[in-house]
Structures are given as structure tokens and as C-alpha cells.
Structure 1
Amino acid sequence: MKNIKIIFAGTDKFSSIHLNELIVKKFNILAVITKIDKKIGRGKKIQFSEIKKIAIKNKLSLIQLNSLNSEKYYKILKKLKPDIMIVVSFGLMIPNKIIKIFSLGCINIHTSLLPKFRGPSPIQSVILKGKKKTGISIIQINDKLDAGNIVYKKSINIKKKDTYKTLKKKLCILGKKSLIKFLKNIFLKKNISIPQKENDATYTKKIYKKDGLINWNEKASKIEKKVRAFNTWPGTFFFINKIMIKIWKVNIVQSHKKTTPGKIIKADSNGILISTKKNFINIIKLQISGKKKNTVDKIIHSYKKLFQIGNII
């Protein structure tokens, strides 16, 4: 099993944890592919990807690029005579010409139970939709978005308080275990390949900063899901006197009262209670623009004037 010759492609921390698992388990990694370094800030400081850091630390052959649509990289990869390409949070398309190099194909680890929630934001989307289960799907890469045959699938439960951050961590642990299990199945010749049911497919959309703006005319249940789904990015927020207030933790307070959505009902050490289309949202952890995030009980007295009872926000 350890003699399977692997090319690994990824970029972020999620992918780096999977790469590290392969290293710990002593798999034969011929090369690691990641994107070209980013330049950030006014000083144009170079930012290495998490994948690059691990590759350098473990003295792995590193290929950096912004596209695989090049004869140069086709020749490089073909010369290595790899068996399989493992793609995790890479963000670049894999051309068919490249896929054909690998005798065991190219596989991708996707954070949903495909064919549901294809696309760029499956973790956020299952929380927004109030789903009770999600999981990891390992698929064969083809020329369509997340549509390849499923070669391994494993589910987990979503807890009521799960945020994007906590759920992603759980899926990362599940993902690296699933990857090793899949590779073992290849060795034991127990691997499967099940076509996805296209009629059951659903798609997620790219999330933008503006999506985090709270609309108090929505139900409290929908706002609460948004707070969890967008933690940590883009966050959920609203404005008072042009000051941005970020919300990090809330609970729902049931109410049959008909009150103008966005009205501040109460503001004390127990929370900031705001009316919605149905029920109230009680903010218990927040962040004033330019300040650190904190629980309401620790900052409410300093910002009492900002949260005047009866004001509509």
C-alpha cells in the first residue's frame, strides 16, 4: 500500500492536514503541487501556503503554479510515473490530459455527502439549511464540478451548536481518516466506484463579505444559522451609527409579540435582545469595529449608549 506513488495537490490548512497524514503514515509522495505564493499588504510581503511549508519541512519535491494547462507540467508529471493524484482544497481545475497520466486516476476530497451540496461552500450551506448530517465524499475527478464517481463516503452528525469552524474541524479529522481508508481499500482491492445521481444534485454558491449583513426582517432561526455558518468568515454583522458590530454567538428567544424587526428590546449583561420577523435574537458575544471580540457582559457598560432600548437598527 505504501508503494502507491502519489502526487498531492492542495493549498490551505485543511489540505495540509491531509498531506501531513500521508507523511505520518509514510506514503510515497513523489511531489506536492500548490499555487504560486501570494503577495499581501502594502509591502507586498510574500505569503507561503500551508502546503508549501509542510513540503519544505519534509523535503518533498514542490511544484508551484497557477494553472495545469501547460505542456511543461504535463511532461513533468508524466515523467514521474505516478499512480494517483490526491486533490484537497486546491482551487484549480485538473485537465483531462493530466488525469489520464494516473493509472489510479485523480481523486478529490469533498466536504459534503454528494451529490448534495456540490460547489465552493458545502460546510456553510449545510448549516444554513439546518441539515442534521453531512460528511466526506471522495470522488474521481472528471470535467464536471464535483460530479465524478464516488469511491468512498462517510457521514457525521451536525450538532445544534456547530459553527463553520467546529464542523470543518470535524470534517478534517474525518477526511484524513477516510483518505487512508480509501488507499487501504485500493491495496485490498475493495475499492468501489458509484456514479452520482444527477437528479439528486444540489449546488452551493461562493460566499461574499456582503452575505454576512444581517437582515432583521428574517426569522430568528435563519439569522442564528447564518451566525454559525459564517463563523469565522465572512462573519455576520450589522451597523449602528455607521459602526460595524460583528456577531459571534447568539441564542433564540421565543416570543409571540409582534414587534418591529430590528428593534432593540433589551441590553444588559445577559445579552442584547433584538426583534426579528419571528422570535428574538439574543446576542451574547460580539465585536465592536476596531475592538476585540468579547462577551456582552464584559463590554455592555462601556457601550450602553450604542444599544439604546427602543432603537430600530
Structure 2
Amino acid sequence: MKIVYAGTPEFAVPGLQALAQAGHAVVAVYTQPDRPAGRGRKLRPSPVKEAAQGLGIEVRQPASLRTADAQAALRALGPDLMVVAAYGLILPPAVLETPRLGCVNIHASLLPRWRGAAPIQRALLAGDRETGVTIMQMDAGLDTGAMLAHRTTPITPEDTAGTVHDRLAALGAQALLDVLPGLAAGALPGVPQDAAQATYARKLTKDEAMIDWTQPAAQIARQVQAFNPWPVAETRWRGAPLKVLEARALPGAVEASPGTPSQATREGIDIATGEGVLRVLRLQLAGRKAQTAAEFINGRDIGQEPLPN
């Protein structure tokens, strides 16, 4: 098959690499235009662009796929299939209809749960015990197409959005390779999604990362998991921003006001919450390197002043 690949962030790189390593004919890669990044605001290519250039594949970066010129350029490639993974641009009907076998998407959730922009983080925030990837035949809706394959992975207390992201990227690449023979043979019927079971994974905001110590410790621990590596759960300590990178919820009643540090040992810094205790294991002051709890308390008096909500 002649395949066009469309993706932008790191999540989409393993799928592209898997296609190339398996010998599939990737005739072009579509990715978003280079964006300003860093202190100097220099233009930076996407991870998928860098990967495609390393593989010697043509890269195209239209600002939109809605123009007649962009759609004609895609048709000229004569693709059998378009594979999409976190591309970041909406595919209009004319694009969805261009490849002979349509467009398939690598989506980072077990559809129909967590359609939308932030499925990994929403699964962690909700306390889901497992997540996965879905290979989906794309249609005009938001992650509403028929499902071609699922691959699952458990979510552990040690996971972060970053670790789950990496596992799902690898699972998605393998699942994609698994479905291609059936797609090429026309022998892989899709399973319609049950819209009644659908949930929506809205985009993350920095405001969501602020810790409310009146919440239960279990909920705050999930917040810490979900927002690592971005935007990172945050509180304030003695007037300065303090990022919480790793934490665990401890059971048991607490008498102190929410946000009050109850003890600080090499095992962690215990902070009272609205229900239970949150043990902070790794944290980072603004402008400093990330530290373990043991490193943070070395030479510091944590005190018992409640952290703000």
C-alpha cells in the first residue's frame, strides 16, 4: 500500500518508524508547521518531521487541509491509506475520502471512553485502572469512527501521564502494523462505537494543576500523576511556586487542617488533605532542580504552616 502518514508530537513517532521498519511505502508525511519554541523563540520542527527527515521521507506542512491546493496535492500522491496520529489538524470530508481505504487514527484511549484532546490525562484523573489505544476508521465526527483494534495496558500507582504516553505510543505502533494486512485485504470490518458509553477528554489547562488541599488525598495523587510532565501539579510554599512531581495517598484520619505538613522524613513529606494524607515523594521549587523529599528537607525546616488552597 501507498501510505500517507500524518502526525506531529512524540506520540506519533513510533507509528511512523514502525511503518518504515516493516517496509511499508510511506510516500509522504504531513505534520504541523514549525513553531517558535524556547527562550529565543526560534522555529522548531515537530518530532514527526525530524523522524521523517531521518528516514528520508518527504515532509509536507500545510497550515490547513481545507484548501483546494492542499487537497489536490494529497490526491496527486494516490494514497491507498492515510494514517493519522495526533496530527492536530481537522481532516475535512474531501481528505477523508481521498485514500482508497480511507483514513485510520491511532487514538490514545479505549474508545468510546475518552474521545478528545487529552485522553491519557483524563483517564489518570478519573482513576481508571486501565487504558489503551484504539485503531479507528476515521469519519467526520470527533473520534467517533468504527473501531478496528484495541490494545490495553494497566494504570499503576507509579504511573504518570509521561510513562503511560510512552507505553501507548509503542502499543499504537504495533496495533497499526497488526491491522494493515486485514485493511489491505478488505477483510477487517470495523466495530461501531456505543455512543452511550462515550466520555469527552477536554484539553488541559494550567489552572487545573493547582492543588486544592481540601480534596481527598487519592484525588490529589491522581492529579499529580495526570499532570506530570505537563502542566505539573502545583502548590505554594512560603510564597513560592512548588511543583509536586510524585506523591502517594495514605489512608487514615487526619486532625490537622488541609494543607498542613504533618511530618517530613526521608520517606516523604506528609501533608494533610480533606480526606487522608498525601505523601510527597518528589518536588521542585521554582528555578531549582527536581528533588526527592529527602533532598528537599535536608537543611530545611518544613514547618507546619498550611499550604494555600
TM-score band, normalised by the shorter chain? over 0.9
Q: Could you tell me which of 88, 98, 101 is aligned with 1:101?
A: 98
Q: Could you tell me which of 174, 179, 203 is aligned with 1:177?
A: 174
Q: CA contact under 8 A between 1:252 and 1:282: conserved in structure 2?
A: yes
Which residue is 1:81 aligned to? 78
User: Partners in 2 of 1:268 and 1:39 — Cα distance?
Assistant: 43
User: Partners in 2 of 1:13 and 1:184 — Cα distance?
Assistant: 25
Which residue is 2:126 aligned to? 129
What letter matches 2:294 in structure 1?
Answer: D
Which residue is 1:72 aligned to? 69
Structure 2 residues without counterparts, runs of 5 or longer: none
What letter matches 1:62 in structure 2?
Answer: V
Which residue is 1:213 aligned to? 210
Q: CA contact under 8 A between 1:87 and 1:107: conserved in structure 2?
A: yes
Greater Cα shift, 40-49 or 191-200: 40-49
The alpha carbon displacement at 1:53 in A equals 1.1
Number of aligned pairs? 308
SS in 1 for 2:31: strand
User: Partners in 2 of 1:270 and 1:73 — Cα distance?
Assistant: 57
Alpha-carbon spacing, 1:231–1:43, altered in 2? closer, same or farther (3 Å):
closer
Q: CA contact under 8 A between 2:257 and 2:306: conserved in structure 1?
A: no
Which residue is 1:193 aligned to? 190
Which residue is 2:142 aligned to? 145
User: Partners in 2 of 1:44 and 1:177 — Cα distance?
Assistant: 35
Which residue is 1:258 aligned to? 255
Alpha-carbon spacing, 1:227–1:36, altered in 2? closer, same or farther (3 Å):
same
Q: CA contact under 8 A between 2:5 and 2:82: conserved in structure 1?
A: yes
Q: CA contact under 8 A between 2:209 and 2:227: conserved in structure 1?
A: yes
Alpha-carbon spacing, 1:45–1:312, altered in 2? closer, same or farther (3 Å):
closer
The alpha carbon displacement at 1:207 in A equals 0.5
The alpha carbon displacement at 1:158 in A equals 1.9
Could you give the per-residue CA deviations for residues 259-299 of structure 1, whole angstroms, max 9, x where no partner exists? 31111211233322110011111112111111000111112
Which residue is 1:297 aligned to? 294
Which residue is 2:272 aligned to? 275
Greater Cα shift, 282-291 or 252-261: 252-261
What letter matches 1:123 in structure 2?
Answer: I
Alpha-carbon spacing, 1:284–1:151, altered in 2? closer, same or farther (3 Å):
same
User: Partners in 2 of 1:80 and 1:213 — Cα distance?
Assistant: 47
Greater Cα shift, 74-83 or 211-220: 74-83
Alpha-carbon spacing, 1:188–1:143, altered in 2? closer, same or farther (3 Å):
closer
1:110 matches 2:81: no
Over the matched positions of the two proteins, sequence identity in percent amounts to 31
User: Partners in 2 of 1:189 and 1:144 — Cα distance?
Assistant: 23
What letter matches 1:308 in structure 2?
Answer: G
Q: CA contact under 8 A between 1:138 and 1:153: conserved in structure 2?
A: yes
User: Partners in 2 of 1:237 and 1:200 — Cα distance?
Assistant: 32
The alpha carbon displacement at 1:312 in A equals 4.6
TM-score norm. by structure 2 comes to 0.95
Which residue is 1:33 aligned to? 30
What letter matches 2:207 in structure 1?
Answer: K
User: Partners in 2 of 1:261 and 1:41 — Cα distance?
Assistant: 37
The alpha carbon displacement at 1:42 in A equals 5.2
SS in 1 for 2:135: strand
User: Partners in 2 of 1:168 and 1:20 — Cα distance?
Assistant: 16
The alpha carbon displacement at 1:166 in A equals 1.3
The alpha carbon displacement at 1:301 in A equals 2.4
Could you give the per-residue CA deviations for residues 42-88 of structure 1, whole angstroms, max 9, x where no partner exists? 53311011111122222211111121011111111111111010000
TM-score norm. by structure 1 comes to 0.94
Q: CA contact under 8 A between 1:112 and 1:134: conserved in structure 2?
A: yes
- Aligned-residue RMSD, C-alpha: 1.4
SS in 1 for 2:98: coil
Q: CA contact under 8 A between 1:214 and 1:238: conserved in structure 2?
A: yes
User: Partners in 2 of 1:67 and 1:254 — Cα distance?
Assistant: 51
Structure 1 residues without counterparts, runs of 5 or longer: none
Q: Could you tell me which of 12, 20, 23 is aligned with 1:23?
A: 20
Greater Cα shift, 257-266 or 90-99: 257-266
